[in-house]
């Protein structure tokens, strides 16, 4: 343990021990207030010491995150100190992001030299993480950092202009601004989110439309107003084309599903959620969109050698084909004009795009049931398949699709897969999907069945069991304890060197904290032991996921698992016994888990609401 933290901890223990020894009766209001003030002083000193310690962290990513989070915790009590920490965090984040950009550039160059596809997954955007916290606290400082980020992004965009696709649809800086605004929305900071998003709400793209859809769930009037302004811009912009219209349609008809088309006829689908019903928007707003859309879609098509639109004739034809059912339903007087436009475009459109099924054209617009039984469509594809591996991939494709709706035929399809390894992979993926569905539906019995009989990993079983325990905790305390005991046993089956063991034990400790504090503290001791024996455990990986890859698709599903985080365990238990929580936190040997635990403890004290003392009795 670093020397400053060790000295602080020893001083703190002495202070709290003396304080505890002087209290022999239940404190009155004045004593309770004094104790609360003392705890706040301790928490401030604790977090300040951690922030100073973070300056010596070799890992710049950890340095940035710890200082930014420490600043967030300290803001209400010492804004000047917090602002200084935010600046330090930003400096560290700039170093990390620059190094990540350098490595990506080197990898792209290597791939280009080898003639391989130029696909490189980016690392974490650490500056945006810092910005998320700054924006909640200090708009002026947030704008300063965002301006620096925009300037860096503009430079990066200029350097990479030759490699960008013409229809990328959004500036890098604008995209980062809107992603930050989305995070502020998630934190409930609606007004700040609007303030940061406003400069980027001047063009139609995935980020701007998805932001407006998310905003509408929080403030429908503000979102509709911003969308109306975007419609007016699109109507005036001579560069607006069919993809602009398709993007605008997402807000009103297919929230969180954004479809665009390429001149070749290819389609891009960006989906952020599962099927989401259209918002209950005002008819006048919908009619305004349809009029603007008609105006843009009816523009004469340039000759192929002069066409500068992002869709070309083929893409425009497909956008009209996609949106025509909406016009027929809501603006039937405009539909004939669009059908005439399609006829005019048809001479430039390959026959394959004019006939037959095209999922990109119908997705989100036409109900699945109107397209026929998916099982029957699968049979038609199977009849055309000539190889066993192709049939296996088709079975896997439809098993995944059917399991999302709870269709029992999905299990039968899994059993039909001939390749043993693929069958096992598909079963594991679909079983976890079923567990997720059960938790979303608050069906504890179904979740427990999947944990006990499904083909789940140990960490997935622990997640299902602890989630089920949470569902039954209020009504069936004894059953909740049994499920947590089962989860504890499963946690101990995970290798001691695997970070999942510490994560699983953390979730059990969180669950026990609500119903059996004694066992919770004991389990937290196991968490420390597991964390110290597992290189790579950070204490803040609140995700659980599953991945499936076949010949025809790649599927990834993620669920939030907040109880896997040390934050969840220490924020709760520190309220019960501050001294004990601090003593346990300092036994973590890793910088990351110790920092997460320390921040959680300080936050639990500084954010704790003072409750009026009970009157009467001892």
Cβ contact 350:378 at 8 Å:
no
What value does the mean pLDDT take over residues 493-503?
A: 94
* DSSP state, residue 388: H
Nearest by Cα to 368 from 251, 275, 280: 275
- List, as one string, the DSSP characters of 180-223: HHHHHHHTT-HHHHHHHHGGGTTS-SHHHHHHHHHHHHH-HHHH
Domain boundaries, the chain: 60-149, 375-564
Task: Report the alpha-carbon distance of residue 87 to residue 84 in Å, rounded.
Answer: 5
Report helix, strand and coil shares of the chain as percent, to nearest 5: 70, 5, 25
pLDDT band at 23 (very low <50, low <70, confident <90, very high): very low
Cβ contact 404:434 at 8 Å:
no
Query: Does residue 401 or residue 388 have the better pLDDT?
Result: 388
Residue 462, pLDDT score: 96
Is residue 544 within a helix (H) or strand (E), and if so which, with residue range?
A: strand 543-549
| Structure confidence by residue, pLDDT tens digits, 262-283 | 888 877 878 777 678 899 999 9
Q: Three-state DSSP class for 432?
A: helix
Residue 612, pLDDT score: 40
Contacts of 228 (CB under 8 A, 6+ apart): 285, 288
Cβ contact 215:222 at 8 Å:
yes
Residue 385 CA neighbour count, 13 Å, CB half: 17
Residue 103, pLDDT score: 78
**Percentage of the chain lying above the pLDDT 90 cut:** 43
Cβ contact 242:319 at 8 Å:
yes
Is residue 45 within a helix (H) or strand (E), and if so which, with residue range?
A: helix 29-54
Give me the chain's average pLDDT, please: 82
Query: Does residue 315 or residue 381 have the better pLDDT?
Result: 315
Residue 63 CA neighbour count, 13 Å, CB half: 19
What value does the mean pLDDT take over residues 247-265?
A: 91
Task: Report the alpha-carbon distance of residue 539 to residue 527 in Å, rounded.
Answer: 10
Q: Does residue 610 register a pLDDT over 60?
A: no
Residue 617, pLDDT score: 38
Cβ contact 392:400 at 8 Å:
no
Structure tokens at 374: 């998916």
Q: Which residue has the tokens 């594809």?
A: 381
Structure tokens at 472: 């039954």
| Structure confidence by residue, pLDDT tens digits, 536-590 | 888 887 778 888 877 666 666 767 788 999 988 998 888 889 999 999 999 999 9
- Asked which of 19-23, 173-177, 447-451, 489-493 is least confident by mean pLDDT, the reply is 19-23
Task: Report the alpha-carbon distance of residue 41 to residue 46 in Å, rounded.
Answer: 9
């Amino acid at each position: 343990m670093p020397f400053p933290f060790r000295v602080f901890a020893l001083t703190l223990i002495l202070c709290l021990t003396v304080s505890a020894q002087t209290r022999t009766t239940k404190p009155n209001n004045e004593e309770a207030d004094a104790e609360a003030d003392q705890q706040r002083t301790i928490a401030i000193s604790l977090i300040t010491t951690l922030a100073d310690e973070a300056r010596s962290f070799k890992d710049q990513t950890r340095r940035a995150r710890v200082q930014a989070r420490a600043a967030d915790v300290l803001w209400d009590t010492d804004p000047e100190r917090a602002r200084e920490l935010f600046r330090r965090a930003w400096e560290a984040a700039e170093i990390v992001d620059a190094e990540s950009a350098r490595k990506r550039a080197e990898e792209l160059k290597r791939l280009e030299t080898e003639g391989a596809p130029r696909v490189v997954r980016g690392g974490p955007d650490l500056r945006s993480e810092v910005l998320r916290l700054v924006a909640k606290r200090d708009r002026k400082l947030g704008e300063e950092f965002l301006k620096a980020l925009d300037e860096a992004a503009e430079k990066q965009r200029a350097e990479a202009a030759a490699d960008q696709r013409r229809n990328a649809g959004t500036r890098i800086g604008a995209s980062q601004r809107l992603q930050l605004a989305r995070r502020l929305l998630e934190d409930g900071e609606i007004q700040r989110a609007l303030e940061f998003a406003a400069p980027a709400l001047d063009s139609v793209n995935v980020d701007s439309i998805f932001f407006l859809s998310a905003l509408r769930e929080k403030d429908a009037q503000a979102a509709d107003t911003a969308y109306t302004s975007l419609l007016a811009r699109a109507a005036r912009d001579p560069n607006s084309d069919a993809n602009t219209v398709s993007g605008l349609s997402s807000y009103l008809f297919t929230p969180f599903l954004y479809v665009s088309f390429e001149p070749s006829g290819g389609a891009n689908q960006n989906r952020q959620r599962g099927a989401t019903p259209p918002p209950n928007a005002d008819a006048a707003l919908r009619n305004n969109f349809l009029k603007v859309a008609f105006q843009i879609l009816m523009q004469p098509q340039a000759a192929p050698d002069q066409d500068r639109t992002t869709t070309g004739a083929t893409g425009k034809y497909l956008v009209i084909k996609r949106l025509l059912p909406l016009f027929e339903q809501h603006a039937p007087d405009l539909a004939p004009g669009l059908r005439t436009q399609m006829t005019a475009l048809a001479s430039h459109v390959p026959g394959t795009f004019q006939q037959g099924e095209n999922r990109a054209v119908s997705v989100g617009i036409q109900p699945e049931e109107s397209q026929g039984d998916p099982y029957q469509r699968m049979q038609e594809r199977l009849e055309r398949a000539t190889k066993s591996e192709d049939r296996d991939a088709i079975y896997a494709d439809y098993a995944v699709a059917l399991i999302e709706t709870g269709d029992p035929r999905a299990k039968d399809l899994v059993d039909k897969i001939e390749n043993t390894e693929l069958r096992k992979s598909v079963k594991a993926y679909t079983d976890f999907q079923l567990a997720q569905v059960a938790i979303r539906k608050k069906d504890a019995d179904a979740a427990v069945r999947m944990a006990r009989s499904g083909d789940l990993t140990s960490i997935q079983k622990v997640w299902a069991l602890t989630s089920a325990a949470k569902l039954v905790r209020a009504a069936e305390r004894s059953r909740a304890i049994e499920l947590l005991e089962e989860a504890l046993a499963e946690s101990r089956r995970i290798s001691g060197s695997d970070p999942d063991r510490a994560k699983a034990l953390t979730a059990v400790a969180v669950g026990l904290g609500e119903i059996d504090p004694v066992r919770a503290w004991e389990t937290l001791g196991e968490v420390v032991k597991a964390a110290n024996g597992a290189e790579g455990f950070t204490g803040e990986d609140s995700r659980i996921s599953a991945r499936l890859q076949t010949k025809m698709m790649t599927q990834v599903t993620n669920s939030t698992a907040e109880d896997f985080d040390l934050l969840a365990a220490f924020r709760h238990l520190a309220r019960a016994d501050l001294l004990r929580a601090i003593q346990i936190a300092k036994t973590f040997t890793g910088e990351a888990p110790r920092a997460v635990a320390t921040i959680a403890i300080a936050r639990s004290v500084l954010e704790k609401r003072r409750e009026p003392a009970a009157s009467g009795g001892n």
